[in-house]
Amino acid sequence: MNDYSIFCVSDHTGVTVESVAKSVLAQFPHLKFSLITLPFVDNAEKALAIAARIATTPRALTFSTLTDPALRMPFHQAGLSLFDVFDLIAPRVELALGQTAIPSGGHTHGMAHDYEARMDAVNFSLNLDDGLNPERLDQADLILVGVSRVGKTPTALYLALQFGLRVANYPLTPDDLGQNDLPSCLKPHLARLRGLTLSPERLAAIRMARYPDSRYASLEQCRMELRAAEVFFKHYALPVIDTTRMSVEEIAARLRPS
């Protein structure tokens, strides 16, 4: 028995604190735990109630991003193990900058300010999903190309949601792959094309889950399509990402222009 309850407490969405807690706890691979995220703890009443709840939970650890030091008080007073991102980092940043932090309430962390650019990017990426509206490819920041089910759509949407990039995606169909050149609508945009590829085994497994026993999902077909796509990628020296063992965050981080 080594089951911990890990609380992620935030005065805002909890995205930051949850990602910190997961990163840190990954260094304790033998730890068994359940993760409870409590967002929008943004007033004294909520903070008190949650500190009390955690205090009665055995084997609890608390990670937090509570901007206002007053909201951290009930946790400290209850004697909890509290790891607050601001507590631990802000004083050092103050020293380095020679400026005093102004705890400003949760709503400034997060990315609300560029909401509209990101929503526009999502709409763009949906409108140019899967080869739709190729006449608008010139407006894209990036154009993902690859065979069916290689991960183009989720990657495009993640880049749009997370970074506000306008990302089109264009499928290389068996018809396209049978030609001796890239589809002509892509050729004016070579500099913004990015190839996605995958191991044939992985691709077959993904396709199989949707269309079992189809020719489309056969290892042979997957291998043939991927090989043909790679000929195009090589010929035009496109940057290529092999997504076989990658999460969508990893793929996106590699594609994001620096």
- Within 40-59, which residues bind its own copies (CB under 8 A)? 40
Type of residue numbered 258: S
| Interaction between residue 108 and its own copies (CB under 8 A) | yes
* Residue 207 binds its own copies (CB under 8 A): no
Nearest distance, CB of residue 74 and its own copies, angstroms: 18
Q: Does the protein bind its own copies through residue 231 (CB under 8 A)?
A: no
Q: In the set 22, 76, 234, 235, which binds its own copies (CB under 8 A)?
A: 22
Q: Which residue, 14 or 146, is less far from its own copies as judged by CB?
A: 14
Site residues for its own copies, 148-167, by CB under 8 A, read 151, 153-154, 157-158, 161-162
Residues binding its own copies: number (CB under 8 A): 72
Q: If binding is defined by CB under 8 A, does position 67 make contact with its own copies?
A: yes
Please select the residue that binds its own copies; options are 5, 25, 57, 216, rule is CB under 8 A.
25
Minimum CB distance to its own copies, residue 184 (Å)? 27
Asked if 255 is part of the footprint of its own copies (rule: CB under 8 A), the reply reads no
Residue 74 vs residues 19, 48, 54, 102: alpha-carbon distances, Å:
23, 6, 11, 20
Q: Which of 37, 57, 148, 199 binds its own copies (CB under 8 A)?
A: 37
Residue 119 as a binder of its own copies (CB under 8 A): the answer is yes
19 binds its own copies (CB under 8 A): yes
Task: Rule CB under 8 A: choose which of 48, 55, 126, 177 binds its own copies.
Answer: 126
Q: Is 27 in the site for its own copies (CB under 8 A)?
A: yes
Q: How far is the CB of 181 from its own copies (least distance, A)?
A: 30
SS3 for the chain, per residue? CCEEEEEEEECCCCHHHHHHHHHHHCCCCCCEEEEEEECCCCCHHHHHHHHHHHHCCCCEEEEEECCCHHHHHHHHHCCCCEEEHHHHHHHHHHHHHCCCCCCCCHHHCCCHHHHHHHHHHHHHHHHCHHHCCHHHHHHCCEEEEECCCCCHHHHHHHHHHHHCCCEEEEECCHHHHHCCCCCHHHHHHHHHEEEEECCHHHHHHHHHHHCCCCCCCCHHHHHHHHHHHHHHHHHCCCCEEECCCCCHHHHHHHHCCC
